Structure 1
């Protein structure tokens, strides 16, 4: 059985080397996939350095799964990615409506989550590290949605 991929850390940008490690592919493969999959567009900075965001890391993992685990060809994986992304666009609510119908009450974080805003190391009653990371990510996303910059 294949080794599972490491959890994605909570950070805004990832270098090509970090993404390679997180997705189990080499940087030259990522550069090639960038040419083949138009949906994959990392931000480029000085010296043409690539910086990937969280959603792009997830996309690369999905591409990797299609190619390496499910046996798709590049062309087949490209078509499947277009289908997947189109399906997600059709079923995803628009951003302004994201919290519509959801009651958010201040001060309920302790009931929902035992993390405080700056306390990334708080114990979570025996949950393993991966669940803790997911909970932290969800908490940060919730805060970003409630208090956009």
Structure 2
């Protein structure tokens, strides 16, 4: 499911950290909007360094773009977008816990298959 219309948003350069001004330009929102979203969305936590300056990473820019899509394009309220983001986090956590990297999940599947074969 593609959440972002890539034609209208600038390409994210290959950098490790981005200032709030750079993120605002990449996501086409104003810096005060980003600061507000930080207070409203617990997933959005940029690194704060000397002088309390915010530095965003690539994943946080993607998150900002998803939030923007939910609010501006899909018409969610702040509360609705917060719930939607929480649902996405819960489902991705559930997928990771049931992935092949989880040896306990493999054992449970093997035991279920063994019980079914008896």
Give the TM-score normalised by the residue count of structure 2.
0.75
CA distance in 2, matches of 1:85, 1:5: 24
1:68-83 paired onto structure 2 within 5 Å = 68-83=72-87
The match for 1:50 is 54
CA distance in 2, matches of 1:52, 1:90: 26
Runs (4 or more) in structure 1 with deviation over 2 Å come to none
Of the candidates 60, 63, 66, which is equivalent to residue 62 of structure 1?
66
Structure whose alpha-carbon radius of gyration is higher: 2
The match for 1:89 is 93
Following superposition, the deviation at residue 13 of structure 1 comes to 0.4
CA distance in 2, matches of 1:93, 1:10: 30
Distance 1:40 1:9, change over 3 A: same
Between structures 1 and 2, the one with greater helix share: 2
Following superposition, the deviation at residue 92 of structure 1 comes to 3.0
What SS is found at the alignment partner of 1:51? strand
CA distance in 2, matches of 1:29, 1:17: 11
The match for 2:34 is 30
Q: Pick 1 or 2: higher relative contact order, CA cutoff 8 A, min separation 6.
A: 2
Give the TM-score normalised by the residue count of structure 1.
0.60
